[in-house]
Structure 1
Amino acid sequence: MPEGEKLVNYYSCSYWHNRLPRQGWLYLSVNYLCFYSFLLGKETRVIVRWRDVTLLDCTNALIFPDSIRVSTRDHEHYFSMLLRKKETYELMEQLANMAMKQLINDEEFSEDKDLLTKVSKKVPKKPSFLKRDLDARAHSDMYRSKFRLPLREKLDGSTSCSLWAPYKKAYVSGTLYISLNYICFDSKIANLVSVVCPLRTVQSVERVDSVKGNLIVKNALFICTSHVNSSNTFLFIDVGDRDFVINKLSEMLGKSIPTKNALPDNMVLGSARLGSRSNSVTDDKCDDMSLSSLSVGSISDNNGSSFSETLEAETTTVPLRSLYIGFEDDMDEGDCEKRKEALWDRHWSEYGRGVTMYRTVETLRLVLEGLPDTVRREVWLIFSGAINEQATNPGYYEQAVIAGLKRGGPANDEIERDLHRSLPEHPAFQSERGISALRRVLCAYAWRNPAIGYCQAMNIVASVLLVYCNEEESFWLLAALSERLLPDYYNTRVVGALVDQGVLEDLILDHMPGLHTKLSDLGIISLISLSWFLTLFLSVMPFEAAVHVVDCFFYDGARVVFMVALAILDVNKEALENCDDEGEAMMVLADYLGCINTPKCRYGKRKSSVCEDKQAESSELRTMVNIIDIIEAAYRGFGFITNVAIERLRVKHRLRVVQTLEDTVMRNTLRTVGPDCILSEEDLKELVIYVRGEQILGGEDKEVRQRNNSGNPLTQEGYALGYETFRQLFLAVSPWGQGDRSESLVTSIFNMLDVDGTHVLSFRSVAWLYGVLCSGDFARKLRLFYYLHLAFPPSLEDVDKPLKNEENAAEVEEEAAVEAEEYFDYLDEDYGKGKVDLDISDDQDAETSGTSPKKEYCDDFTGLATIHSRDYRLFEQRFLPTMTQEQFINMWRTVYSFFAMETNQEIFTSLSRVGTLLLQIGEVGRRVKEIASRSNSESARLPGEQSSENVFQLEEMRGALEECLGSGNCTTEESEQALQSTEESPDSENTSAVPCDTGKNGKMLHNVIKNDTGEEKDKNTEECEQNASVDESDCGSSEHRHASMSQPSSQEWSISFEQFLANVANEEKLVDFFERPVKLAQEVQKLRKRHAVCTSVSGSVASTPS
């Protein structure tokens, strides 16, 4: 196992191998499932990564009785004879679910260190701290889901107690839950009564020993909450370990910081807190407390007041419905609304109002009958939990709107395209006021959650929210919907909707098996589920009919969507079973959904967006269906489906969906990256598996990728490498990853590929690199090696790190590549001569105000951003400038480091021969350019003597070349080429065709050439400076002035890439090293083995030695 892997728990069990049970131990860690057995001299090992699991369930087959089945892409593993099977399965399910969420969100598991400081009583001892952490996570998830609390809320503890219910004058037995910001109660009988009490509303907590007019109560606790106009009180008796609970509540209240009221003044909810309050926990005993005083306080209903009074002053803090109330007046409908409002007023007076109300079955009955428009916003906010996040984050929405509108980007562009397609039949979205409000809400949420940004169907949901709620409330409702109620629904791959599609399919199979067979044959389950679930039926039902579904959804959670879907399919079961094709089945469902309506629907003429003409004809023939009847049928026929069961099925299908998406992304990556590199499909596949595996393990790379937001992990851009991952891969696989300069070479190559300066490499660039390094193309490797030491030379220090920022990167690149900058003209290159004519303006002001050649080169030519701006293959077509002596010595040091452990002396002889020869070639070139430069300067002063001086300088050049040739260290061919170039270029213009450099003179030059060379150079430099000071009239033309400004000093040492390639090609030992191919797939597999990763593609192995 990797060094950082942590064991969660282990269990004794039997593993079925070759239909024989092998007794051993099952080890469960954060990332792996392992089994080990040593029985009768035979050893059995199983290693399965949780991210490779595709199915996890309990089986009771004849061959594998009472077993847990773990399936991967290639294997099925059965574990039986578990002493604590339920506990083992739940832990395995939790770990597998965590792995799938890591694949979806690219989040790393981290321990909750707060558990170490928590004070607990009567907590059973756990095998490990990590097991306690996972148990606490599971309990907190259940706690947040049950009471619709924010995602950051963590359950601190729970205890049994009884709650006094003033509406029925009786005690209700249940469980008291305490967290940092909330006190909650839930009855033992499901849905009988529950309470959510935010600590921000708590005024006091008191001990109670007796109640007036009643028997003595034991371990009682009295909590008083404060509201704007009234208060609610709660009495708990038989509280387990009351003193410990009192101390806990005192600690929580001390940490709870009251915030300003974030709710609008014209809307007073029960959860609105006073501007200032004092939390207190008193030990005083209340001996004379009357049960009659524990009734729910009366709360005035300010929400029913008309918003027309504040319309002109606050146009953005009221629902859009209120702005068009004149268009919606209807006498009969008004009477119906008033009757509903009266029922809710009576309910609130009896059960309380706001977040702290008693939530009973009577509340559900009122919701099922339909919410009046004036109450809908309050019910949505309370039962979805959005009101808690709004109350604890005042001013957040305004900041999100400003930041979201300023940010721009693809998400904002998609929002603009969909604005006018959002509920167009409603008058609120036929004007700029409604469109602008929708734009602000969507842009604000795209800024809040960049991982989601914007997804189609969010505009439809948000537009309905804006009809009944103001902008800020709609924003928090959308956040609750996307992050808690329908997790992973609204992203680029709609993972959550695909998971729930599988859940619906399982529910149809369990309750309507005949219909499931028919729908599976027609293949329409996937077609109907996405449109139904993503928009909560808003896109397939008439507007106000679908709003009733939304009412129940916010109250009862995700199970409502499945129950309504099953009820619709059950009603149309007979018609669907008689359909011959998917088109006919879709028409049956579309006709039925188009006929759904409410008794008094304002927008009853709106039909489904599918086949509107057909629906209009069928609606005349069929009786309208009341949405209330459908919802009642859903609760009556499928009310046994719970949110806990839905979540359990989601875990099961999340495994399959995420693995399917992973396989799809891998295939797409292989298909798109393959043509750009020369790696085989097998090599690319192994590379993808390794990179994805390192991403899951986390570390420094994950923090860098998350900080730079390098893409969705379930897309091709998600296969990105940080520095540490690239370093490990390069040192283990690359033939250049050896020697004492390997670390510096890794940094240089990383900086070369990191063209955007994000410290993250795309998989495409890494695949291209290893295609070059692992192939047998000798010239291509040398070209890359030469360019690397020219533009990104490895440091002479021990180890470099990647460039930290763009400013430092520009400085390093500018200094390293200054020798080459004058030889590039990215506007018009002459590849035949390798010559660049830099057009430098005579206007000094324009030169300083414009972009300098140095800046242009550093921006465009020091990385793959330019060389590979369109195609990686352009790298081989670019002209490479000459290299200075300092750069050459640095490059040759790197070559020597490759053979540091070599014992064959012939290799070192070859290295010495090539290095010496290249040094002498550079020296000859320096002398030739020096003589040519002196000839040019003299001809410029005395034009009349140009011909005789050229002949004299030519003789000097021949003498220098013959002297070098006589030493035996320079080849005849190279000497002839140099002589030919000097004969053809005696004048100043042609001489400039010889490649030369603008960089600094290498400091190591004096170690390899004669001492008088420096004196000659100084003398010639002085002459050049004198020439540069000559008046313009003496120079003759502006062309000479441009040449003097653009051409570097011509007496410096340099070699070209062609010279480097030709000399290395003459040595067989060096050619063998650079031509040696690398079997990338095998090397990566070895690396994965060293990291304790399985040898198979799926990552699973079960082996028994023979």
Structure 2
Amino acid sequence: MAFFEAIRDRAVSTLNQVLDKKNPSGLTKDQLFCRQYSLPDYETVLNESAAEVEVVSDFTTDAYKGVSSSMGREQFPQGRIFLTQHFIVFRDAYDKKNCSFTIHLSTVKKVERLPAKDYGFALSIHTHSKLQVTLYLVGLRSESERFAQTLKITLKKNLPNVKKLSPFIHTCYSEYLLAKNNISSEKIESVPPSGLGQVFKFPGNPKESRDKSKMKLWFDLFRVDGRNLSLVKTPMFYRLVRVGLPNRLRGEIWELCCGSMFLRLDHQEEYKKILEDYGKRKSLATEEIEKDLNRSLPEYAAYQSPEGIERLRRVLTAYSWKNPEVGYCQAMNIVVAALLIYMSEEQAFWTLNVLCDRIVPGYYSKTMYGTLLDQRVFESLVQNTMPKLWDHITKNDIQLSVVSLPWFLSLYLSSMPLVFASRIIDVFFLQGPQTLFQVALAILKVNGEDLLKTEDDGSFISIIKDYFQVLDQSAHPNSPNPKYKSITKFQELLVTAFKEFSIVNEEMIDVHRNRHRDTIFQNISTFVKRTELRNLPKAKNISPETLSILYDRFYSIVQSYSVTMASGSSLMDFKAFKSFMSDICEWVKPETSTDPADDVFLHHLFSNWDSEGQAALSLSDLVVGLNKLIEPDLMTSMSNFFELYDFKHKGKIDREGILQISEDLLYVTGPWKDGLLYDDITVNAMENAVADEVYKANTSNGDDGAKKDEIALPSEVQIDKQKLESQQIERYLKGASTFIQRAFEYAQPEEEEILIKDLAIDNSISHNAALNPNTPVFLNLPTFRMVILADETYELLFSRTLRKSINLEKSLDSKVNTIRNLRDMFDGLLADGRKVANKVRRRMDSAASSALQVNNNNSNSDATSMKSGRSKTQEEEEEQDDDFGVISIDEKDKDLLLGAEAQVLIDPVSNEPAKNKELQRFHKAEQEAAAASASFKSGTKIDDANLIEFET
């Protein structure tokens, strides 16, 4: 039942995914669809149909004119067409690389129905990028009609989004490129916002990377297959990504492949608004960001300048406020720094969102559980694909994860030169995280012979580092064939990764992830729990074992109250705090209680323990507070309680605070005041009563108890249950009444001005003038302690009773009611009869000792002596056994107290009944105490139900 304690990312849903064996993804059908086609999560499928697709443009030659079949008609890509709230989606059923597209409906200019020819139903869609996409719907005519009708309705609903299109595509370099060459009808005069590379130059040599040639190829592709929001992905698209993207287009193609472009379109002003709302605010995440800003790709010139650092700061800060559960994590700065070389700030911001939430979930989190899981998957893949190298690694105890963890966490950006790492990111955004595994396996494969000669981690890492520094060198420098000689080591690496390890696909990776998830999460849970417990403040009153239980209970309750932990919060609000306390404290009423008065004392605890003033408790706050609450030292315990009401931290509690303390003491002692629990005074009285009954039974049977080694307890004992309950209840009611009287009696005036006239005796002034609102008073800590120590019940409350009523060790799975009645306690006495037997033994020994001191010849005198000796010794024994005796009070004293109570209700100035709030509250408390006390003294009747039979 314990929650996986430290995983407090945004992806609580991801945790549910990994624990669900039947549906590891944990996503709905629509969510899976959105992930598959890189759509925003809020899209749903409105309609779908089987279809064949023809795509043509003004510049199409023979790309999609179709291929003649043996039947004499053209063949077009076949698959299913999907319609969502904002998109038309298609993918070839046989090979997605053959033809696929995700067209935003705001780019649709016209839809018309074509006359039927070979197909029964056809729709022609014209887009902003001058594409004509013809859908030949396959299936029942009624279904095709329904699809067309749904498309019509959806297009009408999207009309308001059309106005967002023009300003958005002005931020796309592809549109600028075509407009500049008079292909696009848009008028774009300035270069769209782009990355730092436009100012500080892009990594690598543009001539060696043939940027101009690549740009010409992409220009031709955009003319034929559309661009940005209405691009059709063809085999040429995939080939151009593989050979490397041109620097100026790299950012746009990255966001198009991962789907962040669609988020940027739908939330065009959100990035700026976040910066405006949170730009000057500070948090733990922003502090961590500041530490890492100058460590982000320091080899790139932009990050040695204020402009580059400022852009990086803004993006990381905005994301930390956008996703506070993740905030900022290790290596995130390196990834964002690389994105900003090729992207604008807004592009990088939304790409980071998709990267963290969807592509590599758990990589950038407090526990990095996604990275750790993939490290175990990578080790499994090495073991399966390169068994000889794996045997060598295990034989020499080489920690492979030490080598490969930075590759995955920084997406190779911190491991190899940027010019090569960017090429890997090109493919990564196109085909997903499988790219990371394929490249990692290829690195080991290419360097396999050298790695087999290593015997330790250091030499293993050294070989890989040296390899990354020579990726631009020839892979076959001694080859006589110039073609092979021109192949670089980086090109060899890519060929090895994407051809030899093409079998390592998403399905294979998921199989390995499902196999290792449980182990990884258990290890993370244990590690995080151990780490967090180690970093908690010292709590001398709580054992390490109890801390472990508290940890599990804290996060278990936080989880259940944060589903609302869809947020993954690691803080406890008041509602969760009340549930927590009701589980472990016998005096906290169940969570279902709706009486606001029941929560007053808990609010005092909650506010006092909230160290950060954020209306929420951390685990650290809770441990510190509980450590104070169960303080065994009497003086310290009273000081801790006094502190709850010393709001100004001046060592004083005013009139209102005194009244609040009295009410809270009534609340805390409720289970004992109502006879549901018992304290040590009642326990001792009960043990003595049982011992007396057992002793009488033994002596009446003529047993010589003094000669027996063991005392045999009878099968049943009858004692007066009602009497014991009444005595305890009356003690607690009396304690409440006495506390409030003495607190005001000994309270000190707020300002003492000694005047001569004050020395005069005025009989009209009540000795309870402290309650006069015109004369403010306060209670300090020494006086509070004196008042508590003057009452045996309250002294016991702070020394033992309160501490024993808090069950910190209670198991999380325990469903047993913590409040035990007196019957349970009686049963326990005889179930473990050692204390009772010892008391009976002492009575017998005392009786025997007394008998030896009288005349042995006079049996009557012996019996009398034994009886009187037993009686006297029994009184001494009771005195000795009871740590807290019942304070007796005679009727005169009682009348004086009752008279004082009556005087309290009179305003000393006007000599009329008091009407102020404090006196009314005092009056109410006194009436309740007096009424309850009277009912217990006069209304008690003993019947058969009050006699308890004890069965061993």
TM tier relative to shorter chain = 0.5 to 0.7
- Measure, in 2, the Cα distance between the counterparts of 1:564 and 1:385: 23
Q: 1:549 to 1:175 in 2, by over 3 A?
A: same
1:1082–1:199 CA distance, 2 compared to 1 (3 A):
same
Q: What is the aligned partner in structure 2 of residue 181 from structure 1?
A: 86
Query: Aligned equivalents of 1:411 and 1:253: distance in 2?
Result: 42
Q: Which amino acid aligns with 1:144?
A: C
Task: Name stretches of at least 5 consecutive residues in structure 2 with no aligned partner.
Answer: 57-62, 67-74, 476-484, 676-721, 819-952
- Letter in structure 2 aligned against 1:733: I
Q: Is the Cα–Cα contact under 8 Å of residues 297 and 334 in structure 2 kept in the other structure?
A: yes
Q: 1:755 to 1:218 in 2, by over 3 A?
A: same
1:165 and 1:171 in contact (8 A); partners too: no
Of 226, 231, 235, the residue aligned with 2:131 is 231
- Contact 1:730/1:737 (CA < 8 Å) preserved in 2? yes
Match of 2:422 among 547, 552, 555: 547
Seen in structure 2, the aligned counterparts of structure 1 residues 536 and 635 have a Cα distance that, compared at 3 Å, is: same
- Shift, 1:626, TM fit: 3.5
One-letter code of the match for 2:137?
A: I
- The one-letter code of the counterpart of 2:149 is N
Distance verdict in 2 for CA 1:338–1:575, change over 3 Å: same
Residues 1:1013 and 2:765 aligned together: yes
Equivalent residue runs for 1:249-288 within 5 Å: 249-256=151-158, 257-258=160-161, 259-260=163-164, 261-263=166-168, 265=170, 267=172, 269=174
Q: Distance in 2 between matches of 1:1067 and 1:574?
A: 79
Aligned to 1:751: 607
1:299–1:563 CA distance, 2 compared to 1 (3 A) = farther
User: Which residue number corresponds to residue 294 of structure 1?
Assistant: none
Q: 1:400-421: per-residue Cα shift (whole Å, max 9, x none)?
A: 3434532233433433343333
1:145 maps onto 2:145 in alignment? no
SS at match of 1:499: helix
Q: CA contact under 8 A between 2:334 and 2:410: conserved in structure 1?
A: yes
CA RMSD of aligned residues (A): 4.7
Find the aligned partners of 1:722 and 1:649 in 2 and give their Cα distance. 39
Residues 76-155 of structure 1 mapped to structure 2, 5 A cutoff = 105-106=11-12, 137-155=27-45
Matched ranges for 1:209-220 at <5 A? 209-211=115-117, 216-220=118-122
Shift of 1:326: 11
- Please tell me whether residue 901 in structure 1 is matched to residue 674 in structure 2: yes
Which structure is larger by alpha-carbon Rg, 1 or 2? 2
Residue pair 1:545, 1:598 contacting (<8 A) in 2 also: no
Does residue 659 of the first structure (1) align with residue 522 of the second (2)? Answer: yes
Q: Deviation string for 1:109-163 (max 9, x for gaps)?
A: 999xxxxxxxxxxxxxxxxxx9999999443343223222223333445432222
Give CA deviations for 1:778-816 in whole Å, capped at 9, x if unaligned.
Answer: 55544444554x44xxxxxxxxxxxxxxxxxxxxxxxxx
Of 445, 448, 458 in structure 2, the residue corresponding to residue 583 of structure 1 is 458
* Structure 2 CA distance for aligned equivalents of residues 490 and 554 of structure 1: 17
Corresponding residue SS for 2:123: strand
Q: Structure 2 counterpart of 1:517, which letter?
A: D
- Aligned-residue offset at 1:583: 0.5
Residue 696 of structure 1 pairs with residue 559 of structure 2: yes
**Aligned residue pair count:** 731
Give the superposition deviation at 1:185: 0.9
Deviation at 1:526, TM superposition (A): 1.4
Question: Contact 1:205–1:222 (CA<8 Å) still a contact in 2?
Answer: yes
Q: 1:1063 maps to what in 2?
A: 790
Alpha-carbon contact 1:458-1:535 (below 8 Å) kept: yes
Query: Is the aligned partner of 1:628 residue 2:491?
Result: yes
Question: Given residue 642 of structure 1, which amino acid in structure 2 is its aligned partner?
Answer: N
Taking only the aligned residue pairs, the percentage that are identical comes to 24
Partner of 1:593: 468
Once the 2 structures are TM-superposed, how far is the Cα of residue 1070 of structure 1 from its aligned partner?
5.9
Q: Does the aligned pair in 1 maintain the 2:203–2:418 contact within 8 Å?
A: no
CA distance 1:511–1:1054, change in 2 (3 Å): closer
Within 2, Cα distance between the matches of 1:1079 and 1:1053?
27
Distance in 2, Cα, partners of 1:556 & 1:367: 11
Q: Tell me, yes or no, if the aligned pair for 2:329 and 2:364 is still in contact at 8 Å.
A: yes
How far is 1:777 from its partner?
Answer: 4.9
**Which letter does structure 2 place at the counterpart of 1:901?**
D
1:563 maps to which of 427, 430, 438: 438
Counterpart Cα distance in 2 of 1:150 and 1:554:
16
For 1:207, which of 78, 99, 113 is the aligned residue? 113
SS of structure 2 residue aligned to 1:453: coil
Which of residues 221, 237, 245 is equivalent to 2:147? Answer: 245
Query: Would you say 1:161 and 2:12 are equivalent positions?
Result: no
Q: Is 1:910 matched up with 2:731?
A: yes
Alignment match of 1:323 (pick from 199, 209, 216): 199
Contact 2:638–2:785 under 8 Å retained in 1: no
Structure-2 separation of matches of 1:390 and 1:722: 34
How big is each residue's C-alpha offset from its partner over 1:705-760, in whole Å with a ceiling of 9 and x where there is no partner? 888xxxx75xxxx2x33323322332342143269965443333233323544332
Distance in 1 between residues matched to 2:2 and 2:126, nearest whole Å: 48
**Cα distance in structure 1, aligned partners of 2:228 and 2:356:** 23
Shift in Å at residue 242 of structure 1? 0.9
Within a 5 Å distance, the mapping from 1:300-379 to structure 2 comes to 310=190, 317-324=193-200, 333=208, 336-379=210-253
Q: Distance in 1 between matches of 2:150 and 2:51?
A: 16
- Show CA shifts across 1:402-448 (max 9, x none): 34532233433433343333333334444333333333333333333
For residues 312-461 of structure 1, what are the structure 2 equivalents within 5 Å?
317-324=193-200, 333=208, 336-461=210-335
Worse-superposed segment, 415-424 or 567-576? 415-424
The TM-score, its normalising length taken from structure 1, stands at 0.58
Give the counterpart letter for 1:764 in structure 2. S
What is the Cα deviation at residue 579 of structure 1? 0.9
Alignment match, 1:483: 357
Alignment pair present for 1:528 and 2:403: yes
Describe the SS at the equivalent of 2:615: coil
Alpha carbons of structure 1 residues 159 and 525: separation in structure 2 relative to 1, 3 Å: farther
Tell me the distance in 2 between the aligned counterparts of 1:324 and 1:358: 33
Supply the distance in 2 between the matched residues of 1:491 and 1:303 (Cα, whole angstroms): 45
**In the superposition, relative to structure 1, how do residues 736 and 269 fare at CA in structure 2: closer, same or farther (>3 Å)?**
same
Runs of 5+ consecutive residues of structure 1 not aligned to the other structure: 1-48, 53-98, 112-129, 273-297, 601-621, 792-816, 818-856, 862-877, 941-948, 957-1009, 1023-1047, 1092-1106
Aligned pairs for 1:597-996 (under 5 A) are 597=472, 625-673=488-536, 675-698=538-561, 703=564, 718=570, 720-737=571-588, 742-773=598-629, 777-788=633-644, 790-791=645-646, 857=648, 860=649, 886-887=659-660, 889-891=662-664, 893-894=666-667, 897-902=670-675, 903=722, 904=724, 905-911=726-732, 914=735, 921=742, 925=746, 936-938=754-756
Q: Contact (CA 8 Å) 2:3, 2:556: kept in 1 or not?
A: no
Q: Deviations over 1:613-664 (max 9, x none)?
A: xxxxxxxxx9994423321221111112223443454454444333322222
Q: Which residue of 2 aligns with 1:853?
A: none
Counterparts of 2:392 and 2:378, CA distance in 1:
15
Q: 2:338 aligns with which of 464, 473, 477?
A: 464
Q: Structure 2 vs 1, CA of residues 674 and 755 (structure 1 numbering), >3 Å: closer, same or farther?
A: closer
Query: Tell me, what secondary structure is at the counterpart of 2:442?
Result: helix
Q: By how many angstroms is 1:193 displaced?
A: 1.9
How far is 1:879 from its partner? 8.3
Report the 3-state secondary structure (helix = DSSP H, G, I; strand = E; otherwise coil) of the residue aligned with 1:731.
helix
Of 401-410 and 99-108, the range deviating more from structure 2: 99-108
Code of the residue aligned with 2:497 in structure 1: it is A
CA contact (8 A) 1:397 1:475 kept: yes
Q: Is the 8 A contact 2:7 2:367 kept in 1?
A: no
Deviations 1:939-995 (A, max 9, x none): 89xxxxxxxx8xxx8xx8xxxxxxxxxxxxxxxxxxxxxxxxxxxxxxxxxxxxxxx
- CA shift, 1:922, in A, is 5.5
Whether the 8 Å CA contact 1:595–1:624 is kept in 2: the answer is no
CA contact (8 A) 2:285 2:320 kept: yes
